[in-house]
Chain A
Amino acid sequence: MIPRRMAATMLAAGVALGASAQSSPEAEIAKYREALAAGNPAELWEARGEDLWKQKRGPKNASLEACDLGKGAGVVKGAYAEMPRYFADADRVMDLETRLAHCMVTLQGFRFEDATKRVFGAGTNRSDFESLAAWITSEARGTTMNVALAHPKEREAYQLGEKMFYFRGGPHDFACATCHGESSKRIRLQDLPNLTEKAGAQLAYTTWPAYRVSQGELRTFQWRLNDCYRQQRFPDLKFASDASIALTTFLARNANGAAFNAPAIKR
């Protein structure tokens, strides 16, 4: 999809740039973002997600309303700000999407393979995960990030995630830290958050999921990591894998103390 919304806004930004030649590219990018934020289509996913959460589906004809996201069965408000976390019923640390897949299996009776057939949407083929995540994360907007690392398995996941973040590999000898270990860098229009610093880690983590204007899709944190791995030419990061959860745990914990502010809108 050609990002027409972006093209129009950039045209406007270009005119503004001509008028005040001194303003920095970063300030112009901020203006562009502001123009986009007025009508965030993420709301369309939020509405669909809320509906999906309450719909009776699957072989067991059950809704997800009994799904425990860590604050008790069916409690959605603020739940995302404390994830990933350890779930005793699955004896595993889980992020939101993994937990949703778990609930689709245990409550609705789907097979895991069927439930996770479409984890990332494309066009009219929507992903239930992206819609559900949009709504559930919107219910955590304004909540302070608080990933506790109280359970030994949570600490284990954090440590593994930290190792993965600094692990160099692949044909480009890349680590996550190669792009995200220095401040004030960007690729084209995108700021590269420095995830080794508190402020950068907080700003980055609290603005996912996000509506990607260039794709016309709402993207979740699993997608974000998956695409980082693709860009690093690493092997595919498997959806709901321990590796993906470990890296999420590392990044989520480093954002502790910041107010969660997603679904956001990004280029």
Chain B
Amino acid sequence: MADPMRIRAAERDGVVNVKILMSHEMETGQRKDASGKIVPAHFISKVTATHQGKTVLSAQWGTAVAKNPFLEFNFKGGKKGEKIAVTWEDNKGETRTDETTIN
């Protein structure tokens, strides 16, 4: 099971700022290990953020994103106390969902 994400969401003047740290290896599939074998690609391919069940961000990712990715975005219409949920899915089908409350 993958490690939990760290999500922070803060509302100011009707705009919610969301900061997400994900724990992931993000292997490109281009590197070789000590014995010369290719390290298989392993990366987050899909990220979805929902606010009260409604999608506010959806992204398709590839191997160009860094290890332990950091994602920050803003959206309008959120209020303090409401829920933000973030889900990622990687190319091996692993997935992880975490949520936080807007403050």
Contacts and interface: CB of A to CB of B under 8 A. Distances in A.
Contacts of B71: 39
A41 B72 CA distance: 13
Of listed A1, A3, A213, residue having the most chain B CB within 10 A = A1
Nearest to B71: A39
19 contacts: A2-B28, A3-B66, A4-B64, A4-B65, A4-B66, A5-B67, A8-B66, A38-B72, A39-B72, A41-B21, A41-B68, A43-B6, A43-B21, A44-B3, A44-B6, A44-B68, A47-B4, A47-B6, A124-B25
Interface residues of B, number: 17
B80 interface: no
Contacts of B23: 41, 44
B75 interface: no
A47 B3 contact: yes
Chain B contact residues, majority secondary structure = loop
Interface of B: 3-4, 6, 19, 21, 23, 25, 28, 31, 64-68, 70-72
A123 interface: yes
A48 B72 CA distance: 22
Please provide the 4 A-B residue pairs with the shortest distance between their CB atoms, ordered closest to farther: A39-B70, A41-B68, A5-B66, A216-B67
Contacts of B3: 44, 47-48
Nearest to B4: A47
Interface string A1-33: 111110010000000000000000000000000
Given A4-B66, A5-B66, A44 B72 contact: no
Contact of B70 (A3, A4, A41, A48): A41
Contacts of B66: 3-5, 8, 213, 216
Interface of A: 1-5, 8, 38-39, 41, 43-44, 47-48, 123-124, 213, 216
Contacts of A5: 66-67
Contacts of A41: 21, 23, 68, 70
A216 B68 contact: yes
A123 B66 CA distance: 13
A158 to B, nearest CB: 36
Contacts of B68: 41, 44, 216
A52 to B, nearest CB: 12
Contacts of A47: 3-4, 6
Contacts of A124: 25
A1 B65 CA distance: 12
A8 B67 CA distance: 13
A123 B24 CA distance: 9
B32 to A, nearest CB: 12
Contacts of A216: 66-68
A157 B23 CA distance: 38
A1 B67 contact: yes
Contacts of A213: 66
A41 B65 CA distance: 14
A48 B2 CA distance: 11
Contacts of A4: 64-66
